């Protein structure tokens, strides 16, 4: 079921729209976290029988035609993800590209993501991706990737949907 909400240009409003899309369609028990106390803490905490983890939401209007991709990840955010991964935690970054694309990126790759790789490298770094309308099976595949425990493994390319 595609999201029918209106996207606006403001980054925060776009991330709010992404949250509405995620909470409506991704079948996980999730809690939206707004913390001004802990710098860099992700937007969502999720819990499953397999474990728990964190998800940072990011939105860009589109990939640049040339050059590097900037998604607005702050230094405190990539440090948080790196530290969390070093202690065995699982975290993710979900990036929505306009109204057409969704990428799942490993939190442990946040520092590399912050160095603004090319669009091609960015897509190859994704653990899971989908371009086009999201169907129920796409949401199910995304949930499986998040809960599979592959975040800290070197290669989880076997579950890349759009590759």
Three-class secondary structure assignment of the chain: CCCCCCCCCCHHHHHHHHHHHHHHHCCCEEEECCCCCCCCCCCEEEEECCEEEEEEEEEECCCCCCCECCCCCCHHHHHHHHHHHHCCCCEEEEEEECCCEEEEEEHHHHHHHHCCCEHHHHHHHCCEEEECCCCHHHHHHHHHHHHCCCCCCCCCHHHCCCC
Tens of pLDDT, residue by residue over 111-150, are 888 888 888 888 899 999 999 999 999 999 999 999 986 6
pTM of the model: 0.81
- Choose among 162, 83, 85: nearest CA to 130: 162
Q: What is the percent of the chain with per-residue pLDDT over 90, rounded to a whole number?
A: 50
Distance CA 155, CA 66 (A): 27
pLDDT category of residue 8 using cuts at 50, 70 and 90: very low
Quick one: pLDDT at residue 159? 44
Cα 28 to chain centroid, rounded: 14
Tens of pLDDT, residue by residue over 53-74, are 999 999 988 887 777 777 888 8
Q: What is the mean pLDDT of the chain?
A: 82
* Residue 40 pLDDT greater than 70, yes or no: yes
Quick one: pLDDT at residue 103? 93
Would you kindly state where each structural domain of the chain is located, as residue ranges?
11-159
pLDDT, greater one: 84 or 2: 84
Query: 11-159 has which CATH code?
Result: 3.40.1350.10
Distance CA 162, CA 104 (A): 11
């Amino acid at each position: 079921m595609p999201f029918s909400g209106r996207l606006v240009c403001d980054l925060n409003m776009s991330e709010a729209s992404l949250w509405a899309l995620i909470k409506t369609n991704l079948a996980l028990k999730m809690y939206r976290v707004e913390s001004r106390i802990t710098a860099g803490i992700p937007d969502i905490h999720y819990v499953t029988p397999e474990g728990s983890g964190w998800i940072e939401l990011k939105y860009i209007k589109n990939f640049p035609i040339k050059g590097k991709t900037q998604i607005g990840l702050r230094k405190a955010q990539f440090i948080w993800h790196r530290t969390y991964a070093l202690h065995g935690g699982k975290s993710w970054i979900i990036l929505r590209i306009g109204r057409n694309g969704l990428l799942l990126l490993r939190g442990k790759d946040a520092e590399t993501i912050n160095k603004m790789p090319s669009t091609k490298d960015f897509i190859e770094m994704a653990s899971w991706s989908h371009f086009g309308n999201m169907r129920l099976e796409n949401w199910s595949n995304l949930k499986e990737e998040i809960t599979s425990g592959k975040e800290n493994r070197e290669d989880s390319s076997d579950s890349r949907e759009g590759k």
